[in-house]
Structure 1
Amino acid sequence: MIRIGLVGAGPWANMFTAPMLAAAPDVSLDVVWARRAEAAAAVADRHGATAVGSFEDLLSACDAVAFTVPPDVQAELAVAAARAGRHLLLEKPVGFTVAAAEAVATAADAAGVATQLMLTYRYTAQVRTFLARAAGARPGYVRVAYFGGGALDGSPFATPWRREAQAVLPDLGPHTLDLLEATAGPVAELRAAEAGEVVTVTTVHEGGARGHVAISGTTPGPGGVLEAEAVTTAGRVHLADPTPYEPGDVQRTIVEEFVRTVRGARRQPLDIHHGVRLQRLIAATATAIRTGEAVRP
């Protein structure tokens, strides 16, 4: 069994990560630590784990660390966890800056630990089917859009960092920019703008394809809406919104891949270096919005 330590005890830890780790075979949710001791104790009690009083105590009692904390906190603690030889199950984005994400990658590489990024949609059957269908031909145009209300009052995801200016970029940018590059290839150049709390990005890809992304975290309505479309030499491929997906299926896939990655049986493409790439795309988008000019990531 791979012993997991969970850092964080907020909404996502309660809704998704803790139940995922507690129910999975081959791993055990052993310890929980959070800034609020009472919240950590509640999560631990619910899932048969032990709440500990410090991050150092957590590291001493686990083989791998799963994070459900704000990006800046995750980046700092992930470096320490990697240096302690602990494998990393990371949330998106890895941090708030490219430098912070690179620091995690450097520490993980030096320690030789496994890393995996929790880009939830990438573990759904719908997205994987879309990518497999699109991979069979050369793309000419790819469109990805995500309109959600996660930053609105009343949402469990309306945490302080998601309510900051341009927080939609680190929040929803990883999902959409990841899906865009997975379909059309690496972005060579992008332009971006923001109007009415909607960020739009137009892209030129190394293979010649063109792309478009639109995201908003303040769109009223039920749930999030993620859509994608690829126009390829073989025709049009469409991804209807995979929300709601079956959480149990996604949770099993995430843990199964993490276990195989830790054991050296899988090369995980959604690793810390993929997280650094997404951080570069987010930073390039922010620069393009600020300057109004084309940016090369």
Structure 2
Amino acid sequence: MRIGLLGTGPWARSVHAPALAAHPGVDLTGIWGRRPEAAAALAQVHRARPYATPDELFADCDAVAIALPPSVQAPLAARAAEAGCHLLLDKPVATSVPEARAVTEAAERAGVASVVFFTARFGEREGEWIAAQAAVGGWFTAHADWLAAVFATGSGSPYAHSPWRREKGALWDIGPHALSVLLPILGDAEAVSAARGPADTVLLTMRHSGGAASSVTVGLTAPAAASGVEVTLRGTAGITSLPRREDGPGPAYHRAVDALLTAAETGLPNACDLHFGLRVTQILAAAEETLMPLMPLGS
């Protein structure tokens, strides 16, 4: 499959481009970026061609992979779908429901396959655990702590200067990861509320269609010593926790590419397609609407 890459930032350089260039079922056709010099440099590293415009890249590709901020990703993905390209997108698909719905409907009209890359869902150990717990059922409660030190003092993260993450915070950057784990196990969120914690930290609570309740704490400003990921389920089968990732995001992205190839070949939708990406956006938007500052309680 001829795949073009849109984006030249840290995530594109460290994950997307290397994985696409190394995948045996893919021809990394070319790269487009908002900074032409960055696109040329990244294309040279991976022996691909830099493109001057997205539409020129779409015309030469069977699919596109996008590593751009969500507000940029959504309209470009819709254009790519209209050009007949299958879609490998990053989370969140968009940070507004109308934008997420527009790209989903564009893909439906064009009949193209779509996969949204959620690292936990496509991680080998994590994906197997999620599928196993969904099969077990009987879950009563779940809690997730998904905390990063991206904006902590002294952070050396390459994403520390990301404008969209600064604007939208952990709810939109990390919230999709937590939902991608909890929703397939506990069922869709029927009710959601959120409260603000320190800095960009958000405390999210949900009631699920399977009857369980879940709580999630996400943050990009946690102290480095407090950062990490923990997801714990409690139910009739006992207590279980999400296994820790043993490798980086590259192998998970490789499996996401596999998923797109399969969906395009078979015509069968992937569980992490645009419809799931739209639902994640809807839940996060509903949570954002409930966000209020924490109010001190009187004595």
- How far did residue 288 of structure 1 move? 1.5
Secondary structure at 1:263's aligned position in 2? helix
Secondary structure at 1:167's aligned position in 2? helix
Equivalent-residue separation in structure 2 for 1:223 and 1:53 (angstroms): 43
2:178 to 176, 196, 200: 176
Whether the 8 Å CA contact 1:41–1:50 is kept in 2: the answer is: yes
- Report how many residues are paired: 289
- How far did residue 177 of structure 1 move? 1.8
Q: Percent identity?
A: 37
Whether the 8 Å CA contact 1:143–1:180 is kept in 2: the answer is: no
Equivalent-residue separation in structure 2 for 1:90 and 1:249 (angstroms): 16
- How far did residue 267 of structure 1 move? 2.9
Identify the range of structure 1 (5-14 vs 198-207) with the bigger mean alpha-carbon deviation: 198-207
Whether the 8 Å CA contact 2:113–2:267 is kept in 1: the answer is: no
**After superposition, where does 1:248-267 map in structure 2 within 5 Å?**
248-264=250-266, 266-267=268-269
Cα deviation per residue 1:193-227 (whole Å; 9 max; x = unaligned)? 01212211111112211111110011131795221
- How far did residue 290 of structure 1 move? 3.8
- How far did residue 120 of structure 1 move? 1.2
| Aligned-pair Cα RMSD in Å | 1.8
Equivalent-residue separation in structure 2 for 1:275 and 1:286 (angstroms): 16
Equivalent-residue separation in structure 2 for 1:223 and 1:251 (angstroms): 27
Secondary structure at 1:90's aligned position in 2? strand
Report what 1:45 is aligned to: 44
Equivalent-residue separation in structure 1 for 2:33 and 2:225 (angstroms): 30
Secondary structure at 2:239's aligned position in 1? strand
Tell me if 1:236 matches 2:239.
yes
Report what 1:107 is aligned to: 106
Identify the range of structure 1 (262-271 vs 50-59) with the bigger mean alpha-carbon deviation: 262-271
Cα deviation per residue 1:177-206 (whole Å; 9 max; x = unaligned)? 221212211111122101212211111112
1:276 to 272, 275, 278: 278
Report what 1:85 is aligned to: 84
Secondary structure at 1:183's aligned position in 2? helix
- How far did residue 229 of structure 1 move? 0.8
Equivalent-residue separation in structure 1 for 2:225 and 2:111 (angstroms): 42
2:228 corresponds to which letter in structure 1? V
Identify the range of structure 1 (30-39 vs 179-188) with the bigger mean alpha-carbon deviation: 179-188
Cα deviation per residue 1:60-109 (whole Å; 9 max; x = unaligned)? 11111110111000011111111111111001111120000000001000
Does the C-alpha gap of structure 1 residues 37 and 223 become closer, same or farther in structure 2, counting only changes over 3 Å? farther
Tell me if 1:216 matches 2:216.
no
Equivalent-residue separation in structure 1 for 2:119 and 2:226 (angstroms): 15
- How far did residue 26 of structure 1 move? 1.2
Equivalent-residue separation in structure 2 for 1:240 and 1:102 (angstroms): 33
Identify the range of structure 1 (14-23 vs 133-142) with the bigger mean alpha-carbon deviation: 133-142
Whether the 8 Å CA contact 2:145–2:217 is kept in 1: the answer is: yes
Structure 2 unaligned blocks of 5 or more = 295-299
**After superposition, where does 1:54-203 map in structure 2 within 5 Å?**
54-135=53-134, 136-152=136-152, 153-158=155-160, 159-164=162-167, 166-197=168-199, 198-203=201-206
1:258 corresponds to which letter in structure 2? L
Equivalent-residue separation in structure 2 for 1:251 and 1:23 (angstroms): 11
Query: With structure 1 as the length reference, what TM-score do the two structures score?
Result: 0.92
Report what 1:295 is aligned to: none
Equivalent-residue separation in structure 1 for 2:247 and 2:115 (angstroms): 20
Equivalent-residue separation in structure 1 for 2:183 and 2:222 (angstroms): 24
1:16 corresponds to which letter in structure 2? V
Cα deviation per residue 1:107-157 (whole Å; 9 max; x = unaligned)? 000000000001111111221232133221311111112000223453111
Structure 1 unaligned blocks of 5 or more = 293-297
Equivalent-residue separation in structure 1 for 2:279 and 2:193 (angstroms): 17
